[in-house]
Structure 1
């Protein structure tokens, strides 16, 4: 199957998807597309990672392109202006770097370092301008990316984004405590926490940047729109759990749906994999139903006024990109070096991270 069967920016490349992770419905019904800015995006984000010192130069040179972080965003936020997509892609690359720091703080039992970082991120989120020169590159990089995201839509959108990301930071803190204390959450508790650690509502908020319009509360909270948004994110989070299970078992993780099912419901590894896969697959028909309902809702917004026409177009653009998330997430997991655990020298230590206590100098 070509990786980019409909892309105008990449040469088609055959990707081998393991049978246990293959989802023929995604390959057939969710054709992959990519933003035409994709090649430049990769180059500029690599430069940004170096300038902000978010990864060591040797790690950037060897691994940044192969991690495919920018490809993930280029396959999601179609229609975004180039500068908007660049800001989103840099923020996404920062998010992965933050996730890696969090993981290393857990692995090396650094609660004080994590506590300081947690407090600084909360502060930088509320006052990014004052943290652009912070001594910890992760804090300074966050401030830079947030400030750029804040430039595109009104203050009300910025405040909502901040509220949502404050919750993400606190969810990462709960994950830190669970992992350092060996606590495996039960499935329902885990799924609720996962919606925060995966940042469901952050990626959904950013759809509005891509569409160039803040959506009113009545639109964002409409049941059909909200359900379509949630299902696209649940698919991504649960498919990530399915693909990450070997890596996370090797890394002594506790935050994975499969690990929760094994621990609390007595499933074997094979049974847990089958159950996670079942949940992943169920998102697809459920999304298609929600997508149709949300599309009818979008059409109804076009009430003959200019505002109605523009709002309808923005909602339709957001829905189209929710659909793109399925294919972008799917192929990302089979292209990115982040999941090629069998090629690592140490299955518990990703080769693209530094084990130094960053930010503690």
Structure 2
């Protein structure tokens, strides 16, 4: 049976940042300066992704400089995702781990070597820009979230190397980290100019709310990126896992993932409606945070239908 793209809906309105187009152009110029766009063809594919549009829908309220930083981080992340999801890095766990450990060292402040790859030099520049908003200590939770994301990428590469399709429970445990969404939620307090204390970030209801929003984004991705991943033989997709481990047809697996999308979306709405009130600026911070989570869900959905991300691979052979 052929793939029929699901027609998903989301109840949250989508807003657009007025400077999104200019911010995207600035991010592309930055990527060009750092060698992330290796050819005119690569740049065309990156432009087709419409990264600025996505970030502008998730963060329609941010100052343009802060939006630019997140757009640059997203562009860098898409570059790295394509590199670590395809050969040679994508099926060589040892090589990928070494590359990611170097990236983490640079993100923590290690000095650059003369022969560093473009991804490393660009990440070092991003660190300097993050330090305009935070001290090195304040940046630690964000860096830990990047480390967790890299661990999920390494787990995927290990599975590819072994020719293994992960089981359902392992995939559900790792998927929120492979999405990269936590790298944004951990950075929330750095860019918003609002109080975002540890006790609020780690409140069980807030953590559950974040996971549910992250899951919704993951199921959007798994449903709408499926043709690209089937064409490349990618196994890290909930539809593929349900087919292989539960013997489902494509249509039944798609229906199960779509049902999970709506279940997690409904659970998010129910939990958001009963969040505790903290008083004063903390209430404003929590309201802004839920606005960002809504933006991730609604913006990701609209962007996924419009973006060129799920056509041909954005990057081909390019140095890491």
Note closer, same or farther for the CA distance 1:108–1:65 as it changes in structure 2 (3 Å cut).
closer
Once the 2 structures are TM-superposed, how far is the Cα of residue 181 of structure 1 from its aligned partner? 1.2
Match of 1:224 among 188, 205, 216: 205
Are 2:145 and 2:186, in contact at CA under 8 Å, matched by a contact in 1? no
Distance 1:115 1:176, change over 3 A: same
1:32 equivalent to 2:14? Answer: yes
* Alpha-carbon RMSD: 2.1
Which range moved further: 151-160 or 187-196? Answer: 151-160
Distance of aligned partners of 1:174 and 1:111 in 2 relative to their CA distance in 1, 3 Å threshold: closer
Q: 1:191 to 1:134 in 2, by over 3 A?
A: farther
1: CA distance, partners of 2:87 / 2:191: 33
Q: Which residue of 2 aligns with 1:331?
A: 302
2: CA distance, partners of 1:227 / 1:112: 33
What is the match of residue 28 of structure 2?
46
| Aligned residue in 1 for 2:120 | 139
> Residue 166 of structure 1: SS of its match in structure 2?
helix
Whole-angstrom CA distance in 2 between matches of 1:156 and 1:220: 16
TM-score (norm 2): 0.92
Asked if structure 2 preserves the Cα contact closer than 8 Å seen for 1:161 and 1:202, the reply is yes
Matched, 1:244 2:225: yes
TM-score of the two chains, using structure 1 as the length reference? 0.82
Return the alpha-carbon distance in structure 1 between the equivalents of residues 220 and 205 of structure 2: 22
C-alpha displacement of 1:250:
1.4
Structure number with bigger Rg: 1
Which residue of 2 is the match for residue 101 of structure 1? 83
Kindly tell me the number of residue pairs found equivalent between the two proteins: 318
Paired residue for 1:177?
A: 158
Partner Cα separation in structure 1 for residue 273 and residue 283 of structure 2: 14
The more displaced of 235-244 and 194-203 is 194-203
Gaps of 5+ in 1: 1-17, 303-308, 345-349
CA deviation after TM superposition for structure 1 residue 60, in Å: 4.9
Runs of 5+ unmatched residues, structure 2? none
Asked if structure 1 preserves the Cα contact closer than 8 Å seen for 2:100 and 2:150, the reply is yes
**Mapping of 1:1-361 within 5 angstroms?**
20-24=5-9, 26=10, 29-106=11-88, 109-110=91-92, 113-127=95-109, 130-131=111-112, 135-294=116-275, 297=276, 300-302=277-279, 309-340=280-311, 344=312, 350=313, 352-356=314-318, 358-359=319-320
Q: CA separation in 2, counterparts of 1:107 and 1:168? A: 16
Matched position secondary structure for 1:193: helix
- The alpha carbon displacement at 1:214 in A equals 5.0
Does structure 2 retain, via aligned residues, the 8 Å contact 1:213–1:314?
yes
